[in-house]
Structure 1
Amino acid sequence: MKTKKFSALGILLLSIVLVLAACGKSNTAPNSPASPSESAAPGGTGATGGDQISAVYFVNSTLGDKSFFDSAQAGMQRAVKELGIKSKTVEGGTNQADWAASLESLVASGNYNVVVVGTSQMSDITIDLAKRYPDVKFIFFDEVIEGVPNVYSMLYSQSEGSFLAGAFAALVTTNTELKGANPEKVVGFVGGMDIPIINDFRAGYEQGAHYVDPDVKVVTSYVGDFSNAPKGKELALAQINSQKADIVFNVASAAGLGGLEGANEKGVYSIGVDSNQNPLYPGSVLTSMMKNVDQSIFRAFELMLKDELKFGTNEVLGMKEGGVGLAKDELYEQHVPQSIKDKMTEIEDKLSKGEIKVESALK
């Protein structure tokens, strides 16, 4: 075998080529998250570009509710499209016993530097994980988490939004222009579960209805979960048939879709929740109480990229901040009598100016 001899110059040239090749390779695999900069200001993120964020959105349910969870997903998709972040969505299913382990497996994987998760049912799980994984940032929505330095949380003033829904319902049930309205002053509320967040919706709804007419009766039912649409429909029909409700407020995510269906079948009215559900049953779903989860999640990532999202803090987003409101699309304009639209504009104006105070059930 012949041995090839290399000159000193050849060895030097070969070394230079190898060094240049090594420098041309990325130190981060294509799907691995970039770590936050060590120079980040306290409470900030240090992020300077969307590609430095590798986020996972954990749904403690399933997508397809056309409401709360789908709204959050829309916010994630917008952040991917407009801000350039990397994102993955994982559906945790409806078995609550699986949620903690499923979320921890994502956090512990090291694949994500930001975790997006929400609802009061996930707050204790998130607090525990955030304390055990301090290098991971958490964006938490629909509940306040305090005193955890790597968690930013936001709560929506559902009591304010539901006040508008209650005022609207009272105006509908006392209106003589709407064919589906009956002489009885009864409005319905179908909640997912008897928990503080849902009861805050209820409190605002009752206040709004009584602001318009103290004699309006609010009847309430709870599904027991947020996925059982047949049960949601059954409860709504019971309110309509037995208690003479002519408008029902759905606050039950996917389970509430059954309530909207039932109201449509009976020729009465309903109010959607979280997302604009007016198109589901045009002329029956007259408006929707918007909890702008999508906008708030996009806003959080936008602030994060500016190093202005302060982890360890929380915000309450009300009507003034654009966190809540009513869906007023072309269907609203088409099917809602002008007298109701005018009155709602007046009420919204007073609420925005602080002339109407809504008490929260969470305080």
Structure 2
Amino acid sequence: MTFTRRAVLATTAATLLFATAATADELKMALLVPGSVSEEGWNRIGFNALKRVESDLGAKVSYVELQQNPAAFEKAFRDYAAQGYNVILGHGFEFQDSAIDVAYDFPDTVFLISSSDIHEGNVIGLNTDTSQAFYLMGVVAAKLGKKAGLVGGMEIPPIQEAFEGFINGAKSVNADFPISETYIGNFTDTTAAKEAALSMISQGVDFLIPNASGATVGGYQAVAESGPGIGTFSIFSDYTEVAPQNVLGMYVTDYAAGVTKVVRAIQGGDVPETNVVFGLKDKDVMQFTFRDEAAHPVPADVRAEVAAISDRIAAGEIVTRGN
């Protein structure tokens, strides 16, 4: 895409969107996910958001499950936009470039991109700043553990930013706290995630966080099989059934609440003028909690310290990434 085309998006699409979104007779929203919505995890979160928009706003909705294929992304965006869908959510950073390519041809459609910082005309990023919650996990790991491990899917900005938050949180407690980090190169290979986690644990990691979308469960399986001495946090969805003794707490996002809020504004003609960032300040969207049922629960004094840090992050007093 040329600079000129991006400039046209940035200067004209928002005005067109305001006019068309405000007068749309029927709200139609589509979802593109990079995998199956039947599995707990990232794709299910996007699907739940779509269903919330359907129930709360009376929208006509549709979704499509795709493999990691930019050509398929672009085709799906074009198909839905041509069918008159007002809002299309590409659920993942990997959809960003395809949305930009299509948006120029469909200025009356709002393209929302999860885990993206973009704002170019009618392409708007919805970024849940997971580095904030991961910062809190890093604090806990450095307080209670000896060495931490991070298992990622692919080395893309949303996962890198989350891990950066974890590292910064741990280093705020102990600058020399050891942390291992690896990526399995995909979001589907549960066995690879499990093997990477087991390898880290064999090298002394006693606190491990997997973050690999559909493959994430493999990391929790490794943690569970390694005994109650390995700590973890359940992220995005509830994995406590996989590792009930190990999960010290949960980081979940009610992404559906955030997406519905944004789509409701678009429905009323109020298109966001910047990318949207959800964080610990948005208590209806981001929740971080502890579990008493773990084999070794987080002590009360550490919980209190984490709560105070969380408040400072929400107030903007602590920056969790990009320092």
Q: Above 0.5 in TM-score? A: yes
* 230-239 vs 155-164, which moves further: 155-164
1:145 matched to 2:118: yes
| Shift, 1:300, TM fit | 1.4
1:165 and 1:326 in contact (8 A); partners too: no
Q: Which residue pairs with 1:84 in the alignment?
A: 58
Instruction: Specify the code of the residue in structure 2 equivalent to 1:107.
Output: A
Residue in 2 aligned with 1:262?
222
Equivalent in 128, 143, 146 of residue 156 of structure 1: 128
1:104-253 pair list within 5 angstroms: 104-108=78-82, 110-148=83-121, 150-173=122-145, 185-241=146-202, 243-253=203-213
Q: Distance in 1 between matches of 2:291 and 2:204?
A: 28
C-alpha RMSD over aligned residues? 2.7
- 2:120 aligns to what SS in structure 1? coil
The alpha carbon displacement at 1:264 in A equals: 0.7
SS in 1 for 2:80: helix
Secondary structure of the corresponding residue to residue 81 of structure 1: helix
Amino acid at match of 1:295: A
Contact kept, 8 Å, 2:95 with 2:113, in 1: the verdict is no
Q: Matched residues in 2 for 1:43 and 1:67: separation?
A: 36
Deviations 1:155-188 (A, max 9, x none): 1222222211211222231xxxxxxxxxxx1011
- Of stretches 330-339 and 94-103 in structure 1, the one that deviates more from structure 2 is 330-339
- Look up the SS of the partner of 1:102 in the other structure: helix
Question: What letter is aligned with 2:143?
Answer: L
Structure 2: gaps spanning 5 or more residues: 1-14
Q: Would you say the 8 A contact 1:164–1:325 is kept in 2?
A: no
1:40/1:307 contact within 8 Å kept: no
Percent sequence identity is 25
Does 2:278 align with 1:317? yes
Q: What is the letter of the counterpart of residue 287 of structure 1?
A: G
Question: What code does the residue aligned with 1:71 have?
Answer: I
SS of 1:205's equivalent in the other structure is helix
Q: Are residues 233 and 333 of structure 1, via their aligned partners in 2, closer, same or farther at CA, if it must alter by over 3 Å?
A: closer
Q: Provide the C-alpha distance between the structure 1 equivalents of 2:302 and 2:241, rounded to a whole number of angstroms.
A: 20
Further displaced range: 119-128 or 94-103: 94-103
SS of the equivalent of 1:290 reads strand
The answer to whether the Cα contact below 8 Å between 2:246 and 2:294 also exists between their aligned partners in 1 is: no
The alpha-carbon deviation at position 40 of structure 1 amounts to 8.4
Work out which of the residue numbers 286, 301, 311 in structure 2 matches 1:339: 301
Mapped contact 1:62–1:93 kept (Cα < 8 A):
no
Structure 2 contact 20–108 (Cα < 8 Å) conserved: no
CA distance in 2, matches of 1:170, 1:295: 32
Among residues 233, 246, 249, which one is paired with 1:287 in the alignment?
A: 249
**Cα displacement (A) at 1:209:** 0.7
Secondary structure at 1:259's aligned position in 2?
Answer: helix
CA 1:75/1:280 → structure 2, altered by over 3 Å: closer, same or farther? Answer: farther
Structure 1 residues not aligned, in runs of 5+: 1-38, 174-184
| Alignment partners' CA distance in 2, 1:105 and 1:121 | 18
Q: Secondary structure at the match of 2:161?
A: helix
TM-score normalised by the chain length of structure 1: 0.76
Tell me the alpha carbon deviations over residues 22-58 of structure 1, each in whole angstroms, 9 at most, x when there is no partner.
xxxxxxxxxxxxxxxxx9884772158xx71111111
Counterparts of 1:130 and 1:252, CA distance in 2: 29
Letter in 1 for 2:206: D
Compute the TM-score of the two structures, normalised by the length of structure 2: 0.85
Q: Call closer, same or farther: CA 1:133–1:41 in 2, change over 3 Å.
A: closer
Q: Tell me, yes or no, if structure 1 residue 350 matches structure 2 residue 323.
A: no
Q: Which amino acid aligns with 1:208?
A: G
Shift of 1:90: 1.1
Per-residue Cα deviation, 1:94-149 (whole angstroms, up to 9, x for no partner): 455533333333333x152221113221111001111122222222221022222x
Secondary structure at the residue paired with 1:326?
Answer: strand
Query: Structure 1 residues 277, 294: closer, same or farther in 2, change over 3 A?
Result: farther
